[in-house]
Amino acid sequence: MADLNLATIGGDGVGPEVVDQALRVLDATAPRFGLSIDRTDLPYGGARYLETGQVLTDDEVQDLKRYDAVLLGAVGRPDVPPGVLEKGLLLKLRFDLDLFINLRPGALLPGVTTPLADKQPADIDMLMVRENTESLYLGAGGRARQGTPYEVATQEMWATRFGVERCLRYAFDAAQARPRKHLTLVHKTNVLTFCGKLWFDVFQEVAGDYPDVETDYHHVDACCMYLVSSPERYDTLVTENMFGDIVTDLAAAICGGMGVAASGNLNPLADALGPSVFEPVHGSAPDIAGQDAANPLACVASLAMLLTETGRRLDKPKLVDAGGAVDRAIAAVSPTFAGKRLDRSGMGCTEIGDRLIQAVEQTASAPSGAGVSS
């Protein structure tokens, strides 16, 4: 049995290109840690939908459960109506596999230009924990009396004690594992007095089990202001799904843009229903697809998270070590972007892949071991 049974879904637009580079980096890293990898590329995405009318069936989700992890490139294309692929693929994976955590690091890498004047990597080093299966994303609501002046639309925010508590416990564990041990809850308790208050109450209850973690609470609007004015306030943040969607884009922007924003849709439990799904936060960027122009850093950073998190969940330290090596390679390559934008650096997707591979070769230790098979 391979150490890692990996499924890849390149998806749409630049997705397949950035996944290709991530796999090249994986091929360079795995043998250095004696890791054998089985990989399967799955054809889900917009192209297949246009051909067959299928996005992702229940049987296909069932089938995914035999993999250890999934690396997803991007979903969405202009000739498919908005929502079809996002809901049918990405959100279906999140819900059906119960991937209740969306983990999004927000660290300014050395050399990368932040739009914030005078901020250094030491000032921007956050870990964001976004609840991933509840809130407005549940899709509860409806429209009635359409076409009349009395038309009504509702969209409901749902929070369950079970869903909130498991997310908060994960966030406290994550905060406890970081040097600062500081966790900020982000919500809007002054207006969302039902859902916000539930989050706040459970936050305080769970905090009792983590006396060494310092806690704070910010309203989401204030959080947006602080992310721009004083991001050094933040270490670990936890928030509900919709606010997490918005705040993590803002956090990516202060880290230099989407070019390096990684994410993991996780079910971190040992008895998880199936694999976690890792994806760069950026979209499919159809305008530059097929031009070797996308920056693969975010996808490679998602691969690093995939290795680390899957290694932890399956108790395979070699995977965790390999994830660390990929992270170090990214940190070694990031100064190349000094004075440039991450998304228009002039370096091609393959060229950045080459640099990362070189960095893996220079920074990773090289024990002898098994190779990579595909």
State yes or no: residue 279 binds Mg ion (CB under 5 A).
no
Distance CA 219, CA 172 (A): 19
Report in angstroms how near the CB of residue 207 gets to ligand IPM at its nearest. 27
Around Cβ 81, how many Cβ atoms within 10 Å? 7
DSSP 209-249: T-TTSEEEEEEHHHHHHHHHH-GGG-SEEEE-HHHHHHHHH
Contacting ligand IPM within 160-219 (CB under 6 A)? none
Report in angstroms how near the CB of residue 281 gets to Mg ion at its nearest. 6
State yes or no: residue 343 binds Mg ion (CB under 5 A).
no
Closer to ligand IPM by Cβ: residue 281 or 332? 281
- φ, ψ of residue 213 in degrees (nearest 5): -100, 125
Q: For residue 150, give both structure tokens.
A: 């009395």
State yes or no: residue 134 binds ligand IPM (CB under 6 A).
no
* 96 counts as catalytic: no
Nearest to 127 by CA among 225, 230, 262, 241: 262
Q: Are 259 and 342 in contact (CB under 8 A)?
A: yes
* 59 counts as catalytic: no
* 221 counts as catalytic: yes
- φ, ψ of residue 256 in degrees (nearest 5): 105, -5
Contacts of 369 (CB under 8 A, 6+ apart): 31, 32, 33, 34, 35
Which of 19, 90, 251, 307 forms a contact with ligand IPM (CB under 6 A)? 90
From 44, 49, 67, 137, the catalytic residue: 137
State yes or no: residue 309 binds Mg ion (CB under 5 A).
no
Distance CA 70, CA 93 (A): 10
Where does this chain touch ligand IPM (CB under 6 A) — which range of 46-54, 83-91, 149-157, 170-178?
83-91
* 249 counts as catalytic: yes
* 92 counts as catalytic: no
Q: Which residue is nearest to ligand IPM (CB)?
A: 86
Contacting ligand IPM within 228-287 (CB under 6 A)? 245, 281
Distance CA 77, CA 84 (A): 10
Which of 41, 60, 63, 86 forms a contact with ligand IPM (CB under 6 A)? 86
Polymer length of the chain: 374
State yes or no: residue 245 binds Mg ion (CB under 5 A).
yes
Binding-site residue total for ligand IPM (CB under 6 A)?
5
Report in angstroms how near the CB of residue 127 gets to ligand IPM at its nearest. 16
Q: Return residues touching ligand IPM (CB under 6 A).
A: 86, 90-91, 245, 281
Catalytically active residues, by annotation = 137, 188, 221, 245, 249
